[in-house]
């Protein structure tokens, strides 16, 4: 059961990362393609909040709760826990290269600045009720 829970948390974490990254891609692409849904205020607030949480955790030196819960579940199942952050762990797995934690703080912050830039470039709109 612990391994199932760890895998479920891993999937949730991956979906969160995909939402943050692909959300910005969708906003920028949606501007070019004139997709109206990318201006939805609730979508944009959720996206801004998501990257804001990542940046805050990074600047405060906090481990993401999803990473912590997944690691604890893997340990409870008899496996190994992450020795670094979720992104750092998987980038190492994919690229076989370790970056210092400050690199991720800078990357998250720059990505957050891009999200804020997209907010100004493609401002969200409230739903208009008739």
- What is the model's pLDDT at position 34? 94
Q: Which ranges of the chain have pLDDT less than 70?
A: 82-86, 88, 91-98, 128-130
Q: Is residue 10 part of a domain?
A: yes
Residue 108 CB-half CA count within 13 A: 22
Q: Is residue 127 part of a domain?
A: no
Q: Is residue 130 part of a domain?
A: no
Q: Is residue 128 part of a domain?
A: no
| Residue carrying structure tokens 């826990």 | 81
Q: Is residue 129 part of a domain?
A: no
Residue 122: partners with Cβ closer than 8 Å, 6 or more residues away: 27, 28, 30, 31, 38, 39
Model confidence pLDDT, tens digit, residues 13-38: 889 999 999 999 999 999 999 999 99
Q: Is residue 21 part of a domain?
A: yes
* Count of domains for the chain: 1
- What is the model's pLDDT at position 63? 85
- What is the model's pLDDT at position 42? 95
- Which pTM value belongs to this model? 0.80
Q: Is residue 104 part of a domain?
A: yes
Q: Is residue 92 part of a domain?
A: yes
Which structural domain, as residue segments, surrounds residue 16? 2-121
């Amino acid at each position: 059961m612990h391994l199932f829970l760890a895998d479920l948390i891993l999937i949730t974490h991956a979906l969160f990362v995909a939402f943050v990254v692909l959300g910005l891609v969708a906003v920028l692409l949606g501007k070019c393609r004139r997709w109206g849904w990318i201006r939805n205020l609730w979508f944009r607030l959720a996206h801004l909040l998501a990257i804001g949480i990542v940046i805050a955790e990074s600047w405060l030196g906090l481990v993401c709760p999803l990473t912590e819960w997944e690691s604890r579940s893997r340990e409870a199942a008899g496996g190994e826990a992450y020795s670094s952050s979720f992104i750092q762990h998987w980038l190492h797995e994919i690229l076989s290269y370790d970056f210092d934690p400050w690199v991720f703080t800078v990357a998250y912050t720059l990505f957050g600045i891009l999200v804020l830039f997209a907010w100004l470039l493609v401002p969200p709109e409230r739903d208009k009720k008739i």
